[in-house]
A and B are shown apart, each in its own frame.
Chain A
C-alpha cells in the first residue's frame, strides 16, 4: 500500500465523522500531515503520544488523529500539558496552539513553560490572525495590516514567536513555513526527539480571514509568498536588518541543553527522602 495510505489508515480516526472544520486550502491540514509523518518517524507508539491543544482553528487539530487527544481552553494548552507530562513522564506530550492562543491569552504560560524546561513539544500555527473568531488582529499581525478589529490597520508591533521562545529559555526552537512541508517534517521530528521544551513556529496562511482582508489572494498565492520570502537562518546571518525586513527566517534558531524538569524533580524526590 502507498505510504500515504498507510499513514492515513494508521493515524486518522476512523470513528471521527469527517469532513474536518477547516476551510479548503487552509494550511492547518499541511501541518497535520507533517505532524503525522514526523511522529511516524520517531517510532513512538500511538499510546505514548498525547496531543494537547487550545482553542482556535488550530485547536481543532487533535480530534482527527488517533492519539490520546486533549482539546483544552483558549490559551491554556501548555498548563494541561504540564500536568500530563509531570504526572506521567513516560508520555510524549505535544501541544498545538494558535498565535493568539499561545501569545495573547496564553503568553504567560508559554514563557513559563519555556523557562521550566519540561519535555514538551510546542507547535504554534502562526497565521497572523484570530482565524476562528473571524479575523481579528492577533499579537503576530504585522504593523499596518488589516483585521476585522483593525479596519484602519493595526498600530501594534508583532511578536516574533521564535525569538521570544529563545529568550524565554526554550532549548530547541525552529521556524518553518507550511510551503516547505518536507523541511517542516524534519523540524518537527527533531523537536519531538529533543529532551526539554522545544518550539516549532509554523508559518501558515489563513486566506479566508487574513488573506481576504489584506487582499493577499488565494491560498496558493499565500503559499507562493511563503516560498518567496523564507530565508534560511545561515543565509539570514549574512543579511542586514533592512534586507531582512518582512522576511521569514527559517530553520533551527537554537538547539542547546539545559536541565530537564522531570529529571531534576527525580533529584528532588531523592533529596526529600533523604537519599541524596
Chain B
C-alpha cells in the first residue's frame, strides 16, 4: 500500500483498491468488465504483496461464490464488476444475505440494460442494488462521488459489512471510476477499522445464529474449531434448515432488525448549502458533483439552492429526506436513469414539497447547466 503524506493522482477505481487494502481486504475474486477492470488489475498487483490472494474466476457467479467462501475462513473479501456481471452475482449475493457472510461488491454503473453502453456512465442499477437478489432482504448500498471518497467509503463498506454481517454494495459510475483526482492517503493508524466479532465461548457452547441485543451473532472462521453448518436454506439458531414458522419468522425479522437498529450508524449524507435552501437538489455519485456546481451558480444569481447527497443509498435515508421535504418548496432529483431514487423521494413525500425529476439517459453526464436550467424553471 502506498504510504505517507505525498498526494497521489488516482482514479476512483484505484482509490477503491487502496481503500480495500487499508480496510483489511485480503481476498479478491473477479472477472474483467469495463468500467470496473482497473479494480481487478489493481488487486492482482497488490494482493500478493500484502499476503492476500487474487483469483480471476470464470465468471461473476464464480467471483461471488469465491468471496463468500473466502470470507467464511475469516478473511475480508471483495469483488468488483459492472451491470452484466452484477446481474450474474445476484443469486450468490442472496446467499451472503441469508448466511450473513460479510463481503463487499463494487458495482461500477454503466449504461444498460444488457451490454448497453459499456464505456458510458449511468445510474440505472439503483433499484437492482436494492432488490436485485430474490427474497425479502435488507441490504446496504454506499455511493461515493469523488476519488477521495472512493477510498473512505470503501473502508466504510468493509466496516459495515463486518459489523452487521451483510454484503455491502459499493456503487459508483463510470465517471467516478475513471476520473483522476488528487488524494493524500492517510496514515493507516488513523483509520477506524472494524473486524467481525468472533465467538469467545468454547466451541461446545457456540450457537452460530443465536440472537443477541444487536441481532448480529459472533462469526467463527472455518478451521477455528467451531464446526457449524452454513446453508442458504432458512435455518434455526444452530444453522440447521428449518421451516418451523416461529423459527423462520424470528430469523427473517432478525435480519431486518439488525439493519434497522443500525440506521444512525449506517446512514450518511452530505448537506451542501442546505441551511437556508428554499429549493433542494438530491443527487448522488457523479451527478452530485454537477448538482453542487449548479447550486453555487444559482446562489450567484440569488437563488437559495442547496444539495443533499446521500452517501448511503440503501437503506433509504427516509428521515433525512423527510426533514428536507418539510423545509423546502421544491426538490429536484437529477438522475442518469428514468427515475429510480426519485421514486423513493416521492414515496415519502406527504405533500410537503414539489418533487421534480430530471432524467438523462443518453449516456452523457448531467451537467451543472442541465440542473441550473431546471432550477430556474422550478424556483
Residues in A lying within 8 Å of B, measured CB to CB: 13, 15-17, 46-48, 50, 52, 55, 62-63, 66-73, 76, 78-88, 90-91, 108-109, 112, 265, 268-269, 271-273
Interface residue tally on B, bucketed by range:
35 or more
Given A108-B58, A269-B51, A273-B48, check contact A68 B68 (CB 8 Å). no
Type the 1/0 row for B52-80, where 1 means its CB is closer than 8 Å to any CB of A.
01010111011111111111111101000
Contact in complex: A88, B67 (CB < 8 Å): no
- Considering the chains assembled together, what is the distance between the CA atoms of A63 and B236 in angstroms? 13
Other contacts beyond A70-B229, A83-B73, A86-B27: 7, CB < 8 A: A52-B69, A70-B72, A72-B92, A82-B62, A87-B70, A88-B222, A91-B73
Chain B residues closer than 8 Å to A16, beta-carbon distance = 229, 240
Residue of A nearest to B240 (CB): A16
| B261 CB–A CB distance under 8 Å | no
Contact in complex: B70, A84 (CB < 8 Å): yes
Contact in complex: A79, B77 (CB < 8 Å): no
Contact in complex: B73, A84 (CB < 8 Å): yes
Given A76-B62, A79-B69, check contact A87 B48 (CB 8 Å). no
Query: Which interface residue of A15, A16, A47, A71 has the most chain B CB atoms within 10 A?
Result: A71
Query: Which interface residue of A17, A72, A78, A81 has the most chain B CB atoms within 10 A?
Result: A72
Residues in B lying within 8 Å of A, measured CB to CB: 26-27, 29, 45, 48-49, 51, 53, 55, 57-59, 61-75, 77, 91-92, 95, 221-225, 227-233, 238, 240-241
- Considering the chains assembled together, what is the distance between the CA atoms of A71 and B235 in angstroms? 11
Contact in complex: B57, A82 (CB < 8 Å): yes
The 4 A-B pairs at the shortest CB distance, nearest first, are namely A83-B69, A79-B65, A83-B66, A87-B70
A-B contact pairs, 26 of them (CB 8 A): A17-B240, A46-B227, A47-B225, A48-B223, A50-B223, A66-B227, A68-B222, A71-B233, A73-B91, A76-B65, A76-B92, A79-B57, A82-B55, A82-B66, A83-B77, A84-B69, A87-B26, A87-B71, A88-B74, A88-B223, A90-B223, A109-B62, A112-B58, A268-B48, A271-B48, A272-B45
Residue of B nearest to A71 (CB): B231
Contact in complex: B68, A83 (CB < 8 Å): yes
Chain A residues closer than 8 Å to B66, beta-carbon distance = 79-80, 82-83, 86
- Considering the chains assembled together, what is the distance between the CA atoms of A114 and B44 in angstroms? 21
- Considering the chains assembled together, what is the distance between the CA atoms of A50 and B57 in angstroms? 21
Chain A residues closer than 8 Å to B61, beta-carbon distance = 76, 79, 109
- Considering the chains assembled together, what is the distance between the CA atoms of A81 and B230 in angstroms? 13
Contact in complex: A71, B69 (CB < 8 Å): no
Chain A residues closer than 8 Å to B231, beta-carbon distance = 63, 70-71
Contact in complex: A70, B230 (CB < 8 Å): yes
| Total A-B residue contacts, Cβ distance less than 8 Å | 143
Contact in complex: B238, A15 (CB < 8 Å): yes
- Considering the chains assembled together, what is the distance between the CA atoms of A90 and B73 in angstroms? 11
Chain B residues closer than 8 Å to A108, beta-carbon distance = 58-59
Contact in complex: B51, A84 (CB < 8 Å): no
Chain B residues closer than 8 Å to A84, beta-carbon distance = 69-70, 72-73, 222
Given A47-B225, A76-B62, check contact A87 B45 (CB 8 Å). no
Given A79-B62, A272-B45, check contact A87 B75 (CB 8 Å). yes
Contact in complex: A70, B69 (CB < 8 Å): yes
- Considering the chains assembled together, what is the distance between the CA atoms of A13 and B95 in angstroms? 23
Contact in complex: A272, B49 (CB < 8 Å): yes
- Considering the chains assembled together, what is the distance between the CA atoms of A93 and B53 in angstroms? 17
Contact in complex: B223, A86 (CB < 8 Å): no
- Considering the chains assembled together, what is the distance between the CA atoms of A70 and B223 in angstroms? 13
- Considering the chains assembled together, what is the distance between the CA atoms of A112 and B228 in angstroms? 28
Given A83-B70, A108-B59, check contact A73 B48 (CB 8 Å). no
| Nearest CB on A from B366, distance (A) | 38
Of B27, B64, B65, the contact of A87 (CB 8 Å cutoff)? B27
- Considering the chains assembled together, what is the distance between the CA atoms of A58 and B127 in angstroms? 35
Contact in complex: B73, A80 (CB < 8 Å): no
Given A76-B62, A108-B59, A273-B48, check contact A63 B69 (CB 8 Å). no
Chain A residues closer than 8 Å to B95, beta-carbon distance = 72-73
| Nearest CB on B from A207, distance (A) | 24
Chain A residues closer than 8 Å to B45, beta-carbon distance = 272
Query: Which interface residue of B51, B68, B69, B241 has the most chain A CB atoms within 10 A?
Result: B69
Contact in complex: B227, A63 (CB < 8 Å): no
Residue of B nearest to A112 (CB): B58
Given A67-B227, A71-B230, check contact A87 B69 (CB 8 Å). yes
- Considering the chains assembled together, what is the distance between the CA atoms of A82 and B63 in angstroms? 10
Query: Which interface residue of B61, B65, B68 has the most chain A CB atoms within 10 A?
Result: B65
Contact in complex: B53, A86 (CB < 8 Å): yes
Chain B residues closer than 8 Å to A13, beta-carbon distance = 229
Contact in complex: B222, A80 (CB < 8 Å): no
Residue of B nearest to A86 (CB): B53
- Considering the chains assembled together, what is the distance between the CA atoms of A265 and B48 in angstroms? 8
| Nearest CB on A from B90, distance (A) | 11
Chain B residues closer than 8 Å to A88, beta-carbon distance = 73-75, 221-223
